[in-house]
Amino acid sequence: MKNETVSFSDSSDCTKIRKVRVTVETQGVCIQPEGTGVFDGADCGPIFLEFQNGKPVLYVWTDINGEDPIRIDLDGALESARTVDVIECGCCGCYHRADYGGDCRNDDERFADLDDAAARLGKRVNEVYPVS
């Protein structure tokens, strides 16, 4: 196990320095803000991050006397979950990325429909509408 203690300013009082121990374990990372622990040991931090089937999962023990952590699935935070805004073009009737400002004839930036956009962009798409 590799562990390191890092320090940074308290966000409410920047004159106070807070310490956090970060321990890299075989299957995850344990984070222990100074003065915290878990029910069965003072050397364990109340925050643990691991991957399960390629998806990050965070466990947080918010009560030092409680055994059950809060589980937070972070798969919604994966870059692969990011959506791309697309807009139906009033000029050509196809879809373009909402931030595309180029020529409608550019086939790389012209999509027949939302499924075509999702497939070719490799991301989920979100249709947005022009502000009138």
User: Are 101 and 126 a contacting pair, CB within 8 Å?
Assistant: no
Min dist CB 83 to Zn ion, Å, is: 20
Min dist CB 96 to Zn ion, Å, is: 6
Place of tokens 């373009």: 96
Residues linked to residue 17 through DSSP beta bridges, in sequence order: 9
Nearer to Zn ion, 76 or 130 (CB): 130
Min dist CB 112 to Zn ion, Å, is: 12
Residue of this chain nearest to Zn ion (CB atom): 89
Quick one: DSSP state of residue 69? Answer: P
Nearer to Zn ion, 14 or 91 (CB): 91
**Where does residue 37 rank: exposed (0-12), middle (13-18), buried (19+ CB within 10 A)?**
middle
Nearer to Zn ion, 50 or 88 (CB): 88
For Zn ion, the binding residues (CB under 5 A) are 89, 91-92, 104
Tokens representing residue 77 in the block: 């935070």
